């Protein structure tokens, strides 16, 4: 079965939107790949060793030409390469087992990577300073094949808890990289979910993670992340109201108001500013 045929079959099981044909789905998948990883048509053409016109035809749902199977295989490999670059940070010093997991993922040996990750997590002591990093990588071994993998999410949540309770000792850069990768991936998942209980549940999960990390090192960025989650999920008004008040107490009402009005991500919090000012 060709790569995009498999993607089409998966889409039909749980469709997030309707397509008039498989060709329209394929065109949207290619353009979506470029959007997700901010790749131009010229760059994708170079990666796939085809002309820009060929990429334009791939993205044209009215084109009568199907994407050749060897090009679909290349698109599969390109998606994997871009995913690894976007989600994986190899900061030194890097333990040998992290290098081993990276090599297995790069070689498309997901089941081997998952088995090694599960084994290492089971062997590592609960308070080992490298546990958060290992849990993060264990999550990567599952999410690279299935972004909705329950095992991936369980590992990522455990990594965030470990960072919130016991950050990577003496390595703030590593801790920040892990946090950004996990929170970024989970926020992408949140935005891809349709409105409903699943989206709200993901929003509450992300909100708690941001709040834990703020409690750890008092960085306002985590509160801003929490507010964006509360606006985009969207969570209950009391969650947004509480976060706006907390940010105002920390940074001042004028500064918070300017940013909320300037950035579309916080649009759902704008109506709360006047009410917050009245109470304060």
- Show Cβ contacts of residue 226 under 8 Å, excluding neighbours closer than 6 positions: 206, 207, 210, 211, 214, 243
3-state secondary structure of 223: helix
Among the ranges given (12-21, 64-73, 257-266), the one the predictor scored with the smallest mean pLDDT: 12-21
Three-class SS state of 25: helix
**Residue 149 token pair:** 């993998």
Average pLDDT over residues 183-191: 78
Quick one: pLDDT band at residue 170, thresholds 50, 70, 90?
A: low
For domain 88-192, the CATH architecture is Alpha Horseshoe (1.25)
pLDDT tops 60 at residue 139: yes
User: Which pLDDT score, from 0 to 100, does residue 167 have?
Assistant: 61
pLDDT score of 241? 92
Residue 112 is predicted with a pLDDT of 96
What pLDDT does 195 receive?
85
Domain ranges in the chain with CATH number 1.10.260.40: 3-75
Q: CA separation (Å) from 125 to 23, 44, 97, 101?
A: 50, 43, 15, 19
Q: Does the structure show a pLDDT above 70 at 106?
A: yes
Q: Cα–Cα distance between 267 and 168 in angstroms, integer? A: 35
| Top-confidence residue, 9 or 170 | 9
Higher per-residue pLDDT: 22 or 89: 22
User: Does 3-75 carry CATH code 3.30.360.10?
Assistant: no
Q: Start-end ranges of CATH 1.25.40 in the chain?
A: 88-192
28 or 177: which leads in pLDDT: 28
């Amino acid at each position: 079965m060709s790569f995009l045929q498999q993607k089409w079959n998966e889409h039909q099981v749980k469709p997030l939107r309707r397509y008039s044909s498989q060709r329209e789905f394929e065109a949207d998948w290619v353009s979506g790949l470029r959007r997700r990883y901010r790749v131009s048509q010229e760059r994708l053409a170079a990666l796939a060793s085809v002309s820009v016109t060929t990429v334009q035809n791939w993205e044209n749902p009215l084109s009568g030409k199907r994407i050749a199977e060897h090009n679909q295989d290349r698109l599969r490999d390109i998606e994997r390469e871009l995913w690894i670059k976007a989600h994986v940070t190899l900061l030194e010093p890097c333990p040998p087992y992290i290098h081993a997991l990276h090599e297995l993922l790069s070689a498309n040996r997901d089941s081997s990577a998952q088995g090694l990750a599960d084994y290492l997590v089971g062997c590592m002591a609960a308070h080992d300073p490298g546990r958060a990093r290992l849990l993060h990588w264990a999550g990567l071994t599952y999410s690279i094949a299935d972004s909705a993998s329950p095992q991936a999410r369980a590992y990522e949540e455990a990594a965030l808890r470990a960072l919130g309770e016991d950050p990577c000792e003496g390595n703030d850069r590593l801790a920040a990289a892990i946090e950004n990768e996990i929170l970024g991936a989970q926020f992408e998942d949140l935005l891809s979910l349709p409105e409903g209980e699943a989206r709200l549940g993901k929003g509450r999960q992300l909100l708690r993670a941001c709040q834990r990390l703020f409690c750890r090192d008092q960085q306002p960025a985590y509160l801003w992340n929490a507010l964006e989650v509360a606006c985009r999920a969207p969570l209950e008004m009391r969650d947004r109201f509480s976060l706006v008040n907390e940010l105002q107490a920390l940074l001042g009402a004028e500064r918070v108001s300017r940013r909320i009005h300037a950035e579309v991500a916080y649009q759902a919090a704008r109506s709360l500013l006047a009410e917050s000012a009245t109470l304060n």
